[in-house]
Structure 1
Amino acid sequence: MTTPTVARGLLGRVVKDLENRILEGSWRERTRLPSERALAESHGVSRATVREAIQRLVARGLLETRRGSGVFVVGAQPARASAPWLQLIAQSAPMRSDTLEFRLIFECASARFAAERASADELAEMADILERMKKAVHARKVDEEAATDAAFHAALARASHNIMLDHFHASVITLLREHIISNTYDAARDSANARQRALARLAQHQRVFDAVRARQPQAAFEAMREHLDFVGRQFPGDG
């Protein structure tokens, strides 16, 4: 007979395992979880224990149940009211230079960790994004270039496998995506230099990816720093 203490221990173990799979990226957002039966068998516990573990993670906002469809990982959520500084950013957009300074800290760290931790699937995702970016640049499709640029940086943050970086990125993803896309469009307005700059940005993203793929953390860090420095130099004197 299972004692209450043992039951609590089993429940805690299942909750922790499911939580880790979500936070570490084994299960991406909007992924459908295996059935209760499959989870119970893999953890060596009852379906009731699995059901309670899921309910606890639903209550914490990590999972959601969809009637008739199953249980799914919740997608990235916007910043909550408990983060007033994020609300301030939303209400008063920061200067481009301030955002670039923030990105130097955040994205250089993401690149370094991604070089150490990116999975084969994540490397394949980044390679695919870069291929689409290359086609967009050569076809002079600024909208597609902007979209793939933002997608590359988001993929890099996920590949860092740092829970704090990933969650922080999710909280400011809208701001960063708009910043990256705006930079691409604004740089394209300088018709005399737009083509050359687009090719330079493409090469810079490729260098970041090459360093990540080669498992060279410092090279990835430096490649990202050089890319962000270049982005800043496109807009001299722009606050």
Structure 2
Amino acid sequence: MTSLHSSHASFSVLERIVLEFERRLLSGNWRDIARLPPERALAAEYAVSRATVREAIQRLVSRGLLETRRGSGVFVVKRQPARLAAPWLQLIDEHPPLRADTLEFRLVFECATARFAAERASAEEREKIGSIVARMEHAVGSHDLEAEAAADAEFHMMLAAASHNRMLDHLYSSVIAMLREHITRNTYDATLDHEHAAERARTRLAQHQRICDAILRCAADDASRAMYAHLEFVGSQFDRH
């Protein structure tokens, strides 16, 4: 039976149950199973009434974290970052200078994910990161721009997961549509300068290889510096001065 933390003794029973349910959502336990256990099972697990469980669930439903399906039960709402990011994507389309703001955000955010991935990635995650870079190398070699852009976006998403920091992972998930679009659009827009397109693709590949190598070596400082250099280069491709 799950015990409730004594530090929250001043909370009402309902508030404590809501807090426990939030913890399970944040930990990913319920996100993985999608469908919640029945009310009676949760009531028994937490030693509270079914009415308390029902009210706690309704609070999370009202916040868009859970959803009830008639005749099927209660389910974790699948995160829909594309919907959240849509207004930003439109702004970026209408105001190109916002590209620089996104790059600044990525400099702060992704240098941290690279550092933590180097420190914390599992053997399986390191293998996946290496395989993504291998696919990117093949795409650059065959001049497959679409495959390169896809691998590029997947690489950065994989680093966030391999950082094993729940806040970074959740944050990345909330803005992944915008960042994926940003990464993909950068890759495509960089080819508009036909004279330098092939050279830039090789440079981007080499930069990803250096980030990957640092992560495989568990060299956190090197990974962070390599990511910073990559993102600075991405920005320089669009410097009109």
Same-fold call, TM > 0.5?
yes
Q: Which residue of 2 aligns with 1:157?
A: 160
Q: Distance in 1 between matches of 2:192 and 2:89?
A: 30
Matched, 1:136 2:139: yes
For the Cα contact (< 8 Å) 1:123–1:213, is it kept in 2? yes
Change (3 A) 1:234 1:94: closer
Residue 150 of structure 1 and its aligned partner are, at CA, apart by: 1.6
In structure 2, what is the Cα distance between the partners aligned to 1:117 and 1:16?
28
Q: Match of 1:140, SS?
A: coil
Which runs of no fewer than 5 residues in structure 1 stay unpaired?
Answer: none
Query: Contact between 1:112 and 1:220, CA under 8 Å: does it hold in 2?
Result: yes
The question of whether the paired residues in 2 share the 8 Å contact of 1:126 and 1:152 is answered with yes
Q: Whole-Å Cα distance in 2 between the matches of residues 217 and 135 of structure 1?
A: 27
Range moving further from structure 2, 187-196 or 115-124? 115-124
The residue type paired with residue 118 of structure 2 is: A
**1:229 Cα deviation from its structure 2 partner:** 1.9
Which of 148, 153, 164 is the matching residue for 2:151?
Answer: 148
TM-score (norm 1): 0.71
Aligned to 2:3: none
Residue of structure 2 aligned with 1:110, choices 86, 107, 113: 113
Question: In structure 2, what is the Cα distance between the partners aligned to 1:62 and 1:209?
Answer: 35
Which of 103, 110, 118 is equivalent to 1:100?
103
Aligned length: 229
1:178 paired residue number: 181
- SS in structure 2 at match of 1:207: helix
Partner Cα distance (1:36, 1:237) in 2: 59
TM-score after normalising by structure 2: 0.70
Distance 1:229 1:104 in 2: 8
In structure 1, the residue matched to 2:5 is none
Q: Percent identity?
A: 51
Relative to structure 1, the CA distance from residue 180 to residue 11 in structure 2 (aligned partners, 3 Å threshold; closer, same or farther) is same
Q: Please, which moves more after superposition, 87-96 or 204-213?
A: 87-96
Cα 1:185/1:23, change in 2 over 3 Å: same
| RMSD over equivalenced CA pairs, Å | 3.9
- Of 199, 206, 215, the match for 1:203: 206
The DSSP-based 3-state class of the residue aligned with 2:155 is: helix
* Alpha-carbon separation, structure 2, partners of 1:135 and 1:54: 48
Distance in 1 of aligned mates of 2:101 and 2:185: 15
Comparing 176-185 with 205-214, greater Cα deviation is found at 205-214
